[in-house]
Amino acid sequence: MMTPTPFDSQSCTSCPRHCQADRTRAAGYCGVGSKPVIAKACVHLWEEPCISGTRGSGTVFFSGCSLRCVFCQNYPISRGGVGWEVEPAQLADVFLELQDKLVHNINLVSPSHQAEAIAEALHLCGGRLKVPVVWNSGGYDATETILALSEQVSVWLPDLKFHDAALSSDLAGAPDYFACAAAAVRTMVQCAGVPIFDEEGLLQKGVMIRHLVLPGHTRDSIRILEWVASEFGSSVLVSLMGQYTPMPDTPGAPARRLMRREYVRVTEALFRLGLEEGYVQELSSAGMERIPEFDGEGVPHCKARVGKRSMAT
């Protein structure tokens, strides 16, 4: 039986903001109307080894975002208005062209607020798309949206950013972040089950939770790991990251990099809790060099640049 689609462009509730914007007329809180807006589509080699493999991940960066993380490293596309509007059929072509480059998967970065268009594009691809689809989100996903995409997405790669409501309110404008993200991750695990890899070690199905340790907030990180361990044990992968990089002109964001002793404290908790399936990033990975340039690579008709759109506030 088909799951009823939750999408309604004229009263959008695709993400937990439930702002009910009429996206056929104007952008919602996420800054994007009903057509997909993308900033780059390329082969990406810097994800975890089970995602990037040897041939890379076919990555599509979506513009706009329903979170307002003050430390966002993709600010030009999340809130800065950089992106190019395409039709769902063109988005389907983008996925298929990436597949032609022999990538291991199609990696949808920040897709949550563009779920309806993504579902349509994946439907248009049909059986031509052979590689797994990866939902690479900030974790602020609506459970109804996850269920609607559960037959098209096989790898769920959500962040779990914050546990404390005051922290997520201050840093992302979302006091309900953990409640929503926890429900989302539970739903993803129900949909995908335990991780399944192919013979090359590439993740074909399953959930990998990412957590970026924030300077000065190791206690919050450990509470997240404790929750993951108690809910899922080793039936999910965990990717712990220490690459926090302070961005210029970001008031309210932690203004320094993570200290080694902070990262060691969280890493020790990870292993003490038995969360040994996954990855621990090298602390030396911090830096701007891995932040891609959002130049319209791989975007059809990128001359039709949306440019500095005024995002909804």
Residue ranges that bind ligand SF4, judged by CB under 6 A = 12-15, 17-19, 21, 23, 28-30, 66, 113
Minimum distance from residue 240 beta carbon to ligand SF4 (Å)? 28
For residue 26, what is the DSSP state?
A: S
CA triplet 47, 53, 57: central angle to 5 degrees? 55
Minimum distance from residue 292 beta carbon to ligand SF4 (Å)? 23
Pair 300, 94: CB distance under 8 Å: yes
Minimum distance from residue 9 beta carbon to ligand SF4 (Å)? 9
Q: How far apart are CA 131 and CA 57, in angstroms?
A: 10
- Beta carbon nearer to ligand SF4, 145 or 221: 145
- Beta carbon nearer to ligand SF4, 26 or 255: 26
By Cβ distance, which residue is nearest to ligand SF4? 28
Minimum distance from residue 147 beta carbon to ligand SF4 (Å)? 16
Minimum distance from residue 288 beta carbon to ligand SF4 (Å)? 28
- Beta carbon nearer to ligand SF4, 17 or 309: 17
Minimum distance from residue 131 beta carbon to ligand SF4 (Å)? 26
Q: How far apart are CA 14 and CA 159, in angstroms?
A: 18
Sign of the four-CA dihedral 162, 167, 169, 173? negative
Strands (E), the chain: 37-44, 57-62, 84-85, 106-109, 133-136, 155-156, 196-197, 203-212, 237-241, 278-280
CA 91 to chain centre: 18
Pair 205, 192: CB distance under 8 Å: yes
Minimum distance from residue 5 beta carbon to ligand SF4 (Å)? 14
SS (H, E, C) 42-82: EEECCCCHHHHCCCCEEEEEECCCCCCCCCCCCHHHHCCCC
| Residue 60 Cα distances to 23, 28, 184, 276, 280, angstroms | 21, 21, 21, 29, 24
